[in-house]
Structure 1
Amino acid sequence: MDRPLEGFRILEVAQFTYVPAAGAVLADWGADIVKVEHAEKGDPQRGLVRVLGHTAGREGSSFSPIMEGPNRSKRSIGLDLSNPAGRPVLEELIRRSDVFLTNYLPAVRTKLAITVDDVRAINPNIVYVTGSGFGNEGPDSERGAYDATGFWARGGSADGVMGEGADSMAFMPAGAYGDNIGGMTIAGGIAAALLGRERSGKPSEVDVSLLGVGAWATQFTVNLALSSGGPLPKVKRKKTAAAGNPLTGSYRTSDGRWLQFSMLQPVRFWNEFVTAIGLERLVDDPRYATMEGIFADADQLGELFADAIAARTYDEWIADLAGLSGPWAPVQNSWDVGNDTALIENGRIVDIVDADGVNQKLVANPVKFDGRPVRMKRAPQFAEHTDDILRELGLDDDQLIELKVSGAVT
């Protein structure tokens, strides 16, 4: 069963990436996702032309990665939730859905009559899911958030990657970084809620906050700080090896790229490692037969290893270290990741055809079922499936025209 959610219907009333990313994962897993977009404006993310200094799309192409990633394989209906004429459409969609998924703030949900009580009055068996900034309880429940604020800054990641005395704040390594991690978390919560409903007959109310996801991601240091009774002191980071163990940490190649090593058992990998980087004279060196011996000379060894690795290029090291059994990895850029053989061979980079008929590629969610590739389609154009969805609900052409004239649908 490579599409375990096939037959489940998700009604997504959400925008930008955080909650829509959850819908994308569920679509990868086989669910039918109907995305409700504002009848006039659509998802505001469609209007973004630059993201973190990068152009969001290519001129002359309908393909926009920031829309395709979190919205692939969905159907889009343009529906004005504030227009009374469109309310029967929304209610029929709710009746036919297993999950109601939204990232609207509580006050907006109340205004639009899409609170859990409103939705459950229409479909008592529906799983109701919110993706929030700071949770649905407490003083910040009405505050909106993006991943840069709720996940990255307030959740501890930004501080965690900054060294002592940093003169600038480190930003996320990619756009929608926390959104995509959070979306995966929401998808897991929905899958658990559907399983629980199948077993108990009772639908759940699920909330996943960006702050909660951020705290989960940094829980190692958060838990350590809580047990220590205060903020953790900043550890002075070296330019290359991690403190104490020169077989962990990063080393720079001759062409300015980097390799990351994580051999937490340095004695085990010692002979293999020093041989691989051309320091055979250190094989079976009695000074480094124990972890204590390696740690005692960590600074000196780190400099020695750095010089050895700095003598060759990134591509040369990729080839020369291919057979190294100790954990290591090249520090890849986005292009490298998109062309990573392991991702491609495992079906995590998927080919699709965009709205212009051009072949494109997208990253799949990391979960694989039964060794089967993900079956994925492009994201919908704005309101692309409005007529099809309305006809599924039993509306005829005259009713469609009436709704469009009223401005309730697009």
Structure 2
Amino acid sequence: MTAVMQGVRVLEVAEHTFVPAASALLADWGAEVVKIEHVERGDAMRGLASTGTASVSSDVHVLFEHSNRGKRSLALDLASPEGLDILYALAAKSDIFVTNKLAGVRRKLKIDVEDIRAHNPRIIYVRGSGQGERGPDGDRGSYDMLGFWARAGIGAGVQGAEPGPVPSPPGPGFGDSIGAMAIAGGMMGALFHRERTGEGTVVDVSLLGTGLWSMGHALALSLQLGVPFTAPSASSLWANPLVGNYRTRDGRWLAFCCLQAGRYWASLCEAIGRPGAAADPRFADHHSIMANNEDAIELLREAFEERTVDEWRARLEGFTGPWSVVQNIAEAGADPQTAPNGYVQTCRTAAGVPFQVAAAPVQFDGEPAAPERAPEFNEHGDAILAGLGFGWDAITDLKLRGIVA
């Protein structure tokens, strides 16, 4: 794998997933990332013991690993003048400063744009926020289930027209991880711009903005038509019978997205054991299928309910139309395409305990990036300080006074 970020230095003052996952991606691609953690408790994510219905193992905190692999950790008291001076010294040697602290907190800690730029005018300053820097809620915090999922219309979009509770996000850090890709792209674009012009820019990415971009098609349609876009419910009849989901005998689902219904109808009829339906005049071509979609859907529903999902995997193997089993995330991790493409990578903790994480979704030169483990709390503190010119006596003094861990 070509380490496209090799030689880039990133300084991070951030917690949880949204922003840290972005610098973790740059670390996967070769960047040196120094993570500044709270001097006593560290990143709040370290203390997260459960999420949703799942408990976090005491052997490997895989949620923290996802967002912090490959980084170096320094626990620093940013509320002290000495701690702030250390941060400024690191900023002077960094290419990127990235944070998810609120604007008021940034000003209080003296880590806002002008504070960092005073020590490195060319540094790229990156802000991750809930709702954006401007507007009435610019200084309000958020989480991905709020800014990305609820506020940006994704939860309601998943809910559709069906009454009842709004579905929760499908996994922890869902919007955070998507937003992190946007931040990573912004950082790389800013580096390219600085390489061309010498100018360091300010990069802003929010959970709300990322959510709206993810709903971009629905947003454009809603604004054009003046009504909210509503996705078809599970019980709705589709215009195209070959675009939708069908239940199997064992309660699983098959998903089809054959936009050219006439092209794939005959071969699908053969695969499901209904060859006579290919000659039925109601389904003679694409327009006929669409005109008789209720009959076609009922035929397909009856057929798919006759066999289990595993039987359909075998019978549909030769079907050339676009289709997939609706898999759970454990199945997706074991998908026959996952391992050959390196989409899941194995790491080991400092104690040698193996664990698996999702790989960076962007690959260079045909090879997946191999992530390294996340740092232990303040694991690299002494080495980072020594790199700034602190001797052992000075480091010990900082420890005794609680400036560093």
The TM-score by the shorter chain falls in which range? over 0.9
Cα pair 2:62 2:355 within 8 Å, conserved: no
1:259, distance to aligned residue in structure 2 (A): 1.1
1:68, distance to aligned residue in structure 2 (A): 0.6
Q: TM-score, normalised by structure 2?
A: 0.97
Q: TM-score, normalised by structure 1?
A: 0.96
| Paired residue type of 2:233 | R
Cα pair 1:33 1:74 within 8 Å, conserved: yes
Identity between Structure 1 and Structure 2 (%):
45
| Paired residue type of 1:175 | P
Distance 2:237 2:91 in 1: 53
Distance 1:237 1:376 in 2: 39
1:237 paired residue number: 233
Distance 1:230 1:304 in 2: 33
Distance 1:41 1:291 in 2: 62
Secondary structure of residue in 1 paired with 2:269: helix
Please tell me whether residue 111 in structure 1 is matched to residue 93 in structure 2: no
1:282, distance to aligned residue in structure 2 (A): 1.6
Tell me which of 92, 95, 101 is aligned to 2:92: 95
Superposed CA offset, 1:204-245 (max 9, x none)? 10000100001001111111111113434x465243x75111
Please tell me whether residue 301 in structure 1 is matched to residue 296 in structure 2: yes
Tell me which of 238, 247, 254 is aligned to 1:252: 247
Distance 2:237 2:129 in 1: 36
20-29 or 275-284, which deviates more: 275-284
Q: Which runs of 5+ in 1 are unaligned?
A: none
> Hey, which bits of structure 1, 4+ residues long, moved more than 6 A?
none
Superposed CA offset, 1:355-403 (max 9, x none)? 2202221111110100123121111111111111111112111111011
Secondary structure of residue in 2 paired with 1:134: coil
Secondary structure of residue in 1 paired with 2:182: helix
Distance 1:157 1:51 in 2: 20
Secondary structure of residue in 1 paired with 2:382: helix
Superposed CA offset, 1:78-123 (max 9, x none)? 1111122212211111011100000000000000100000000010
| Paired residue type of 1:237 | S
Distance 2:215 2:141 in 1: 21
Tell me which of 194, 198, 222 is aligned to 2:195: 198
Cα pair 1:250 1:259 within 8 Å, conserved: yes
Residues 99 and 301 of structure 1, relative CA distance in 2, 3 Å threshold: same
1:40 paired residue number: 40
| Paired residue type of 2:187 | I
Cα pair 2:127 2:204 within 8 Å, conserved: yes
Secondary structure of residue in 2 paired with 1:128: strand
Secondary structure of residue in 2 paired with 1:342: coil
1:287, distance to aligned residue in structure 2 (A): 2.5
Secondary structure of residue in 2 paired with 1:12: strand
Distance 1:377 1:236 in 2: 42
281-290 or 394-403, which deviates more: 281-290
Please tell me whether residue 188 in structure 1 is matched to residue 181 in structure 2: no
Secondary structure of residue in 1 paired with 2:339: helix
Cα pair 1:94 1:122 within 8 Å, conserved: yes
1:2-401 equivalences under 5 Å are 2-57=2-57, 59=58, 61=59, 63-232=60-229, 234=230, 237-239=233-235, 243-401=238-396
Distance 2:381 2:311 in 1: 54
Q: Which runs of 5+ in 2 are unaligned?
A: none
| Paired residue type of 2:33 | I
249-258 or 182-191, which deviates more: 249-258
Cα pair 1:105 1:143 within 8 Å, conserved: yes
Residues 238 and 377 of structure 1, relative CA distance in 2, 3 Å threshold: closer
Secondary structure of residue in 2 paired with 1:250: strand
Cα pair 2:28 2:372 within 8 Å, conserved: no
Cα pair 1:242 1:248 within 8 Å, conserved: no
Secondary structure of residue in 1 paired with 2:246: strand
| Paired residue type of 2:286 | M
Give the total of aligned pairs.
405
Residues 388 and 185 of structure 1, relative CA distance in 2, 3 Å threshold: same
Cα pair 2:359 2:370 within 8 Å, conserved: no
Distance 1:313 1:157 in 2: 31
Cα pair 2:278 2:284 within 8 Å, conserved: no
Residues 92 and 242 of structure 1, relative CA distance in 2, 3 Å threshold: farther
1:325, distance to aligned residue in structure 2 (A): 1.3
Distance 2:278 2:116 in 1: 68
Distance 1:337 1:24 in 2: 22
158-167 or 360-369, which deviates more: 158-167
Distance 1:306 1:339 in 2: 28
Residues 107 and 262 of structure 1, relative CA distance in 2, 3 Å threshold: same
| Paired residue type of 2:203 | V
Secondary structure of residue in 1 paired with 2:204: strand
| Paired residue type of 1:357 | G
Secondary structure of residue in 2 paired with 1:211: helix
